[in-house]
Amino acid sequence: MVIQENVSLIVMVAQFVEQNKDKCYKYFPNNHENMELANGFTIRCCTELNFNTYIVRTITIQNEIKQWTITHLQFTDWPDFGCPNGTEIMLEFCQLMREYAEKTSAPIVLHCSAGVGRTGTLIALDILLQAIHDNKDIDIFNTVLNLRRDRKNMVQTEKQYLYIHSCINDAIENPLPVSNGRTNMEP
């Protein structure tokens, strides 16, 4: 799918193992290692920058003909069915994600473990933060409702729904400074 759709950004809002349960298959190797696939493709994790609540990786996929470069953003401080502690870390991550997203016209792959709770919450936040940026009306209820029309159970819990409200309130009350070149920042 990543190659077929020419994806250059993958956003992961889960850990591979949470509370001793497998949550997500590790589809790339450790930093500076290769993963050989049976179909002639090689996946390599070229760089891995660890921040307090997220990791930024550069991953390459190649075959005999071509090489693709993918940025992999992993938010690591979000429990399943829960929410991150505080809004600032999530708003900063959303800003970072948006900066990478604006570098490409290709689809973005965004996933958690089930693909609805954390994924839906992050998509809703991105839509609403863009509405704030574009000086458009903010409608959290209908944003989530529209996501649920496309995929059942998007934004899985009341806590996640209220977290969206908290993030959007804080984004309006205390906007983050516009960053320049943050995507090149070191940890």
Residues with catalytic annotation?
112
Contact 75, 12 (CB under 8 A): yes
Taking phi first (over 0 means left), then psi (-120 to 50 degrees means alpha), and beta for anything else, what does residue 146 get?
alpha
CA 41 to centroid of chain Cα atoms: 24
Helix ranges (H only) for the chain are 88-101, 117-133, 140-150, 158-173
Strand partners, 56: 49, 73
